[in-house]
Amino acid sequence: MTPIVDIEKIRTDFPILSDQIFGKPLIYFDNAATTQKPRCVLDKMTELYTTQNANIHRGVHHLSQLATAAHESARQTVADFIHANDAKEIIFTRGTTESINLVASCFSELCQADDEIVITQMEHHSNIVPWQMVAERKGLKLRVVPIDKKGDLRLDELEKLLNERTKMIAVTHVSNVLGTVNPIKKITALAHTQNIPVLVDGAQSVAHLPVDVQDLDVDFYVFSGHKIYGPTGIGVLYGKTAWLDKLPPYQGGGEMIENVTFEKTTFNKLPYKFEAGTPDFIGSVALATALDYISNIGLEQIAVYENELLAYATERMQAIPNMKIIGTAATKSGIISFQVGNIHHYDLGMFLDKTGVAIRTGHHCAQPLIESLGMTGTARISFALYNTKAEIDQFIEHLEHCISILN
């Protein structure tokens, strides 16, 4: 297939890709952990700090007005990117983890003892631990949806778990271990027949496939800037207006207030009710810059290209003796977790690093899933729009050399 865009041209947009690691060209296959940043994002951050740095929403002076306008324009860019109904449904956070903690903490205030929260076997710790914490505090119960041998979610078991005590379904859109793309529209349709809201962890999906929160009909959708070519420390919580209006504030302080006296405080309107403290307008605008960058390329095209990389890498890896790929769902994103015979995943990662190949090893912050598979960890490669088949070929060559030494 002809590349959808000029990949070599795209690669020149990412300065770090020209670096060398131990004298070898960098092959960056750890994109599920964090993506590299295009020059336009780096330049935008420098520009903002040098020409518009000010505290937003709180100043009448020119710089504050410029910064405020940039921040709110970024909010609209995010809303448009995921097709939210209104920009006020976009809450800026520090990342996916804080977004889920925000919802879990606030939503638990609407629950009673013995109410149930449904999560799945493939969740990242960020979509397990916050719910465990509020469950312990409020006397709630966690229910876990299992997966099948291929790594697909057991929707029949999900349906069995739902009852009048179920108050929330929290599910990942794409598994960061298995690569499985979950059928979110089916899940929300099932949940909404029983008036159960759905929170979706979009950390591994939003950079790799088009997301329309209205079409998916999700109640909450969360993701991180650093996994979509933006900076670290900025993230997004999308919530339907009706739900955000119901939830109490998450934190108290400046920005989220309407009026404060020593006797009583009234809270600000959406979205500011959930944005206590000085907003990270540098992060929000840099994130919007990253979203514009990939929008100009086209997420549909990116998805096609990354799926081609996934298929090519999978075929080449399956030809390696004693190779075991973990997660073989029919619908996958560009993630491959694997083991080779009895070679420890850490040894694979360390050896490949010396050849310039960056991969991830361990339980990938999904320890319950990994242990349920009878493992302590895996090696994992994950793709982004700037990766190439030539890099996959080099990775395979280095991997085979590694295996020959470690066996």
- Active site amino acids: 365
Which amino acid type is present at position 93? Answer: T
Nearest to 132 by CA among 95, 94, 170, 164: 170
The number of beta carbons lying within 10 Å of the beta carbon of residue 45 is: 18
Distant-in-sequence, close-in-space partners of 174: CB < 8 Å, separation ≥ 6: 180, 181, 182, 202, 204, 205, 208, 209, 333, 335
Cα–Cα distance between 177 and 373 in angstroms, integer?
11
Cα–Cα distance between 66 and 381 in angstroms, integer?
41
Nearest to 236 by CA among 52, 103, 39: 103
Which two structure tokens, joined as six digits, stand for 368?
């319950």
Q: Using alpha carbons only, what angle is made at residue 118 by residues 245 and 84, rounded to the nearest 5 degrees?
A: 40
